[in-house]
Structure 1
Amino acid sequence: MALYEYRAAYSDGRIAKGRIDALHETDLEAQLKRLDMALLSAKEIAERASAVSKVPRREVLGFLFQLEMLVRAGVPILDSLADMRDASDTPAGRELSGGLFEKIEAGSTLGEAVGTFPGVFSETVVNLIRSGEVTGQLPEVLKEIVRSLKWQDEMEAQTKKLLAYPAFVMVVIGGVVFFLMIYLVPQLIGFLKNLGQEVPLQTRLLIGLSGIFVNYWWAILTVPPLLVVAVLSLSATYPGVRYKLHAMQLGMPVIGPVLKKLTLARFADTLGLMYRTGIPLTDGLVYCEKITSNVVIQNAIRRARERVVTGTAISESFAAEQLFPPFVIRMIKVGESTGALDQSLANISYFYSRDIDESIARVQAMIEPALTVVMGLILGWIMLAVLGPIYDTIAKMKT
């Protein structure tokens, strides 16, 4: 099977371009015909990238939701994919449904078919679908996948919300300070020098700082981004640097604990989902280890998994890592003893989700006044350093 870059036309005259896997041009033409398109031109390309390697998460969610509803209603998978392909109003959606249709029609299972689109479906989703097919619980598994992806989408939005506001305010403060030091303070300095009197220490410090901004503005603007790029490059190259960087993230005041809760909430949700759908606990831990972005927590999960493999209870394995607080370990232990580990993990995920919402609200409530105070102190110091000599001059003139 080769990858073709095609140009085709719909029956209403609209032109479409894209990429799709096909055995040959005749097969490509047949696939496009089923998508209500007529092939205009095609070119085989060497690159083996998927034709639908970039699909927005919301579209993937919609795709899985529709598939779950159709399969639950008893519609065969091939008919479901054909209906979704014909009803889709986006090229990516049509190509995704059409691509899966072609692979399943050729003899693949749904799990095997989605596995050929790694840029669209994660390894976790692929294995969950395969498990659902084996156990005969595909509709339930698809429903749980949609719920989990929606939850992950909300958690990512919470993370952006946590980091975006402080970053925006800091940029505004930096811009104001830069403007004051580059433009306003130099003009005031000229006025102060014309007063012809000795300026106090704080004014001399302001003059020196303004001189640094005026003479080295290019370094102030370029060095911080270069440092960030250098740190990220070192982190990508050296595991030790990456480990220390991730440990620093978790240790950051205020924000660090929230990031840890976000990571652990996703871990508990994913492990509970995989365990609930029949995937063995050790395999679930392997997949959770892969999707965990923080190396510190990833290593802790790996060490806990190794203990579980040797026969240690999962509650004892994670208690040894001190990854979860004691009450969470107790919840896992109760889940083990009652045979409801998946429910315990779901409760942990729910607890962390609620706690994250409250933590982010508290962080934002703390950050706003704190940054306002910082801004006030900076402006107050500048005004005091500038106006102090002026008031001294006026006082001397009166005497």
Structure 2
Amino acid sequence: MAYFYYKYLSKDGPIATGLIDLPYDNPISATTYLEQQGHTVIVVNPLSPFMGALAGLAIHTFEKKVTMEELAEGLTNMAVMLKAGIPLITCLKDTIADHDNSTLSKVGQQLVMRVEGGSSLAEALAAYPRYFPDTLVFLVRLGEETGSLDQTVRDAAAHTQKMDKIRRDTKSALTYPTFMFVAIFGAMFFWIYLVVPPMADMFKQFQLDLPVFTKMVIDGSVVIKANVGMIFGVLLGTIFTLVALVKSSAAVRKLIQRILMKTPIFKVILTAFNLAFITQYMSMMLRAGVDVMRTLQVLKEAIPNEIYREHLDQVQENLVSGIGLRESFDKVGIFPNFVVRMIGVGEQSGTLSEQLEYIAEDYRVKLDELVGNIGKLVEPIAIVVGGGLFIALAMALFAPLYQLIKNI
């Protein structure tokens, strides 16, 4: 896969130039592809690896995102066509034609080129990890090997829809408390930046003997007002740096996740998300015929939480040492008794995938309830935190005024 600079006389008439990402590594194949599209090629040159990386970064930054909902819809349509006996290439082309997402259409065209060039569908999907998760690639490969591609694609579509619902519910639940606390501290900044300075000038004119806490608030206001540009610059820089570190460093992700997992409201939300994520993945993979060890390996690569990833690694090690699945989950100490018991029931009765699906459904329901009730959970904390800050600020500002009025 490489980026090529092209210049051609398009089939519609005008000369066109630009960059194109193709699953080829030589200009001859790229030229052949463009000519097959009906264009008269003038020049095709491959970009250097460095320039190709820059081009890819720029293109991916501004391209339209592919949502899990769109991916699930495409997989569902494809599964229906495969079930009807339609050839794979035709299924891919028709799926592309039904989508309005330009990014998905572009990637779909490249999948078609790869499959027409002799790659399996799993190999073609694996070349685009940005758009297609490892789980999908694994299921498609399994379907190709067992001759049940239509069923595994359908399973992947159902799984993607469920995971999309879990992610959306989690984001909705996290948004309200985040917004609430940002609003509280935003209001505090407004008071300190705009309200405190004129009151400080008034205190100075009357030469009041100010309490220590009032002096601290005024001094803080002076510092903030004098350095507001630098403060916002440092704040934005810190946010961007933190985001970059979260994306690139597992240690930073683990630290932040550990802090959030100790914060009452976030702990409830993230626990429900991760347990729903784990049990949904395991249920789907086991139902598709994947063994437990391979399921855990794929799950470790897919789960976004570093803490749970470490514990899943410990579960794997326990299984390797000969410990049963129930005991392996129980031994790591992070999974609730309910989850461990249900896994034990499934292990003993041979219905593990069904029991895991029950657990996943239970946690999906909990996430739904959290989304509906998050306001009731957050409001008491917001009242205590916000009310405490505003009472402290009011006492700092109005205590000197009370003293002034008393002395008149």
TM-score higher than 0.5 = yes
3-state SS in 1 of match to 2:4: strand
Alignment match of 2:328 (pick from 294, 302, 317): 317
- 1:150-194 per-residue CA deviation (whole Å, 9 max, x = no partner) reads 222222223322333333333333332223222321111221222
RMSD of aligned Cα (Å): 3.4
- 1:229-264 per-residue CA deviation (whole Å, 9 max, x = no partner) reads 676777788866654443323222221232122122
- Structure 1 residue aligned with 2:21: 19
Residues 1:56 and 2:66 aligned together:
yes
Alignment match of 1:358 (pick from 361, 364, 369): 369
Rate the CA distance shift 1:367–1:77 in 2: closer, same or farther, 3 A: same
Q: CA deviation at 1:359?
A: 3.0
Letter in 1 for 2:30: L
Letter in 1 for 2:169: Q
Q: CA deviation at 1:148?
A: 1.7
What is the correspondence of 1:37-56 to structure 2 with a 5 Å cutoff? Answer: 42-47=44-49, 56=66
Residues 1:68 and 2:79 aligned together:
yes
- Structure 2 residue aligned with 1:4: 4
Relative contact order, CA 8 A, sep 6+: which one is greater? Answer: 2
User: Does the CA-based 8 Å contact 2:11-2:40 persist in structure 1?
Assistant: yes
- Structure 2 residue aligned with 1:367: 378
Distance 1:16 1:325 in 2: 59
Alignment match of 1:342 (pick from 337, 348, 353): 353
3-state SS in 1 of match to 2:191: helix
Rate the CA distance shift 1:242–1:166 in 2: closer, same or farther, 3 A: closer
What is the correspondence of 1:1-399 to structure 2 with a 5 Å cutoff? Answer: 3-6=3-6, 9=10, 11=12, 18-22=20-24, 27-32=29-34, 42-47=44-49, 56-57=66-67, 58-217=69-228, 220-224=231-235, 243-397=254-408
Distance 1:89 1:40 in 2: 30
Rate the CA distance shift 1:383–1:137 in 2: closer, same or farther, 3 A: same
Q: CA deviation at 1:77?
A: 0.6
Distance 2:212 2:11 in 1: 76
User: Does the CA-based 8 Å contact 2:214-2:396 persist in structure 1?
Assistant: yes
Distance 2:165 2:182 in 1: 25
Q: CA deviation at 1:332?
A: 0.9
User: Does the CA-based 8 Å contact 1:5-1:20 persist in structure 2?
Assistant: no
Letter in 1 for 2:337: P
Rate the CA distance shift 1:202–1:105 in 2: closer, same or farther, 3 A: closer
User: Does the CA-based 8 Å contact 2:134-2:302 persist in structure 1?
Assistant: no
Letter in 2 for 1:191: M
User: Does the CA-based 8 Å contact 1:3-1:20 persist in structure 2?
Assistant: yes
TM-score by length of 1: 0.85
Q: CA deviation at 1:315?
A: 1.0
Distance 2:83 2:17 in 1: 33
3-state SS in 2 of match to 1:258: helix
Distance 1:246 1:280 in 2: 29
3-state SS in 2 of match to 1:43: strand
Rate the CA distance shift 1:90–1:378 in 2: closer, same or farther, 3 A: closer
Q: CA deviation at 1:283?
A: 0.7
Distance 1:42 1:255 in 2: 52
Letter in 2 for 1:120: Y
Q: CA deviation at 1:89?
A: 4.4
Rate the CA distance shift 1:87–1:383 in 2: closer, same or farther, 3 A: closer
3-state SS in 2 of match to 1:254: helix
Count, aligned residues: 397
Rate the CA distance shift 1:177–1:297 in 2: closer, same or farther, 3 A: same
Distance 1:236 1:13 in 2: 42
Rate the CA distance shift 1:14–1:329 in 2: closer, same or farther, 3 A: farther
Letter in 1 for 2:261: L
Range with greater deviation from structure 2 (243-252 or 259-268):
243-252
Rate the CA distance shift 1:119–1:394 in 2: closer, same or farther, 3 A: closer
3-state SS in 1 of match to 2:22: strand
Range with greater deviation from structure 2 (377-386 or 309-318):
377-386
Rate the CA distance shift 1:19–1:128 in 2: closer, same or farther, 3 A: same
